């Protein structure tokens, strides 16, 4: 028998060519997209590296002059060119701690109310009102804190705390001194208000990811709302909760203008949270413009480098904590 060539219809050939061209264009577009995203990621790393290098170069004169004493000394004397970062570091950590101690329970509590207890008609207005706090400029918080909150605390809360804990060991030192109004407590309260929307928004969104069947099963066996939240909702979403808290902590550590208005800007370390203090960002904002070239400017840049290191340590610790939680839960 003679082999007979099977004719291929011209329309079929045209379809094959069109599909081949379409696949080729898709592959080209995919390669372009890959390289664009890869370039963006590399650009971020290069930018981060450039920031670190510039900070190290700028801070090196101060670090080489004072050594480790730059971190441990609280003396800050531009006239004598003696600089120590202990007081700004202390103020940054204490004000952030006060803010988180207030904002975490309040923010998570609001999120629980919005997702589990709030009437549907009020859920959206209350949620929007909380989120609007994140849109208020920080300088507005600072002005409000200086002219409204600080005088109010000076006349009410601070005298009450001083009188209440006057004879209580340890706490009498924590709440010692005259009521200035401004100080670490006031700054911590302002920061708590500023980071509250972040904790609330993140917590509310992750609470809504809990499968309804889990909560229904818990209610079905007789659990109360509190037991459902404690034993089902929070364990299921704890990784996201930690992430939201760390996001808020990062905001608190780096806040500048609002804290500058109400913290008192004093380069002294005091056990009392009522006393005036300073933070790293507030010190830089207050003094960078008037700093002379040389050791003064280098010391301020070194403060910025320390803030960068503190923030990096906090975020790295958060990542390790999240990884440990996920490994325990099999995530």
- Residues 237-270 have pLDDT tens digits of 888 888 888 888 988 988 888 999 999 988 889 9
The whole-angstrom separation of Cα 237 and Cα 243 is: 10
The DSSP output letter for 7 is: P
Q: Quick: pLDDT tens for 143-177.
A: 999 999 999 999 999 999 999 999 999 999 999 98
Where does 30-72 show beta strands of DSSP type E? none
- What would be the CATH architecture of the domain defined by 69-329? Orthogonal Bundle (1.10)
Q: What torsion do the CA atoms of 144, 148, 154, 160 make, to the nearest 10 degrees? A: -100
3-class state of residue 288 by DSSP:
coil
Q: pLDDT-derived band of residue 5, with 50, 70 and 90 as boundaries? A: very low
> Is 137 exposed, middle or buried, given 0-12, 13-18 or 19+ CB atoms closer than 10 A?
exposed
Mean pLDDT (the chain) is: 87
Three-class secondary structure assignment of 259-280:
HHHHCECCCCCCCCCCCCECCH
pLDDT of 94 reads 95
How far apart are alpha carbons 62 and 78 in whole angstroms? Answer: 12
- Between CA 33 and CA 241 the distance in angstroms is 33
Residue matched to tokens 């970062």:
85
Has residue 4 got a pLDDT over 50?
Answer: no
Mean pLDDT along residues 230-235 = 90
φ, ψ for residue 74 (rounded to 5)?
A: -100, -5
Residue 167 CA, distance from chain mean position: 36
Using alpha carbons only, what angle is made at residue 205 by residues 249 and 224, rounded to the nearest 5 degrees? 105
The answer to whether 291 and 105 have CB atoms below 8 angstroms apart is no
CA-to-CA separations, 53 to 121, 226, 297, 302, in angstroms, rounded = 53, 50, 16, 12
SS3 77: strand
Q: Which of 192-201, 291-300, 315-324 has the highest mean pLDDT?
A: 192-201
Burial 240-250 (b: 16+ CB within 10 A, else e): bbebbbbbbbb
Give the residue extent of every domain in the chain: 15-66, 69-329
Q: What is the pLDDT of residues 14-34, one digit of tens each?
A: 776 777 777 777 778 788 888
Determine the length of the chain: 331
User: And the tokens for 106?
Assistant: 């309040």
8 A C-beta contact, residue 273 and residue 174: yes
Across the range 64-70, mean pLDDT stands at: 90
Q: If you search the block for the tokens 């099999």, which residue do you land on?
A: 330
Residue 324 scores a pLDDT above 90: no
Q: Cα angle at 131 between 126 and 245, to 5 degrees? A: 110
As a whole-number percent, the residues of the chain with pLDDT over 90 amount to 50
Q: What is the C-alpha to C-alpha distance for residues 263 and 277, in angstroms, rounded to an integer?
A: 6
């Amino acid at each position: 028998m003679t082999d007979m060539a099977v004719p291929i219809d011209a329309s079929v050939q045209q379809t094959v060519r069109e599909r081949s061209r379409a696949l080729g264009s898709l592959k080209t577009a995919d390669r372009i997209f890959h390289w664009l995203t890869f370039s963006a990621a590399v650009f971020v790393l290069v930018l981060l590296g450039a920031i670190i290098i510039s900070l190290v170069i700028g801070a090196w004169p101060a670090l080489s002059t004072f050594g480790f004493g730059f971190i441990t000394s609280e003396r800050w004397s531009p006239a004598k060119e003696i600089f120590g970062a202990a007081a700004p570091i202390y103020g940054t950590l204490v004000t952030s701690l006060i803010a988180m101690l207030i904002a975490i329970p309040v923010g998570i509590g609001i999120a629980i109310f919005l997702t589990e207890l709030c009437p549907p008609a009020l859920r959206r207005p209350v949620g929007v009102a909380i989120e609007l706090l994140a849109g208020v400029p920080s300088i507005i918080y600072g002005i409000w804190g200086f002219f409204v909150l600080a005088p109010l605390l000076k006349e009410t809360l601070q005298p009450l705390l001083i009188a209440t804990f006057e004879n209580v060991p340890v706490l009498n030192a924590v709440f010692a001194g005259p009521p200035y109004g401004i100080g670490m407590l006031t700054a911590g309260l302002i920061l708590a208000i500023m980071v509250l929307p972040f904790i609330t928004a993140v917590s509310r969104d992750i609470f809504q990811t809990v499968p309804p069947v889990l909560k229904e099963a818990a209610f079905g066996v007789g659990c109360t709302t509190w037991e459902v939240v404690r034993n089902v909702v929070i364990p299921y979403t704890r990784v996201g909760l930690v992430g939201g808290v760390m996001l808020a902590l990062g905001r608190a550590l780096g806040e500048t203008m609002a804290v500058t208005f109400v913290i008192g800007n004093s380069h002294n370390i005091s056990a009392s949270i009522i006393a005036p203090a300073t933070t790293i960002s507030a010190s830089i904002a207050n003094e960078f413009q008037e700093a002379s070239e040389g050791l003064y400017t280098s010391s301020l840049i070194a403060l910025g480098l320390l803030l960068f290191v503190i923030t990096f340590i906090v975020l790295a610790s958060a990542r390790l904590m999240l990884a440990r939680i996920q490994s325990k839960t099999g995530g």
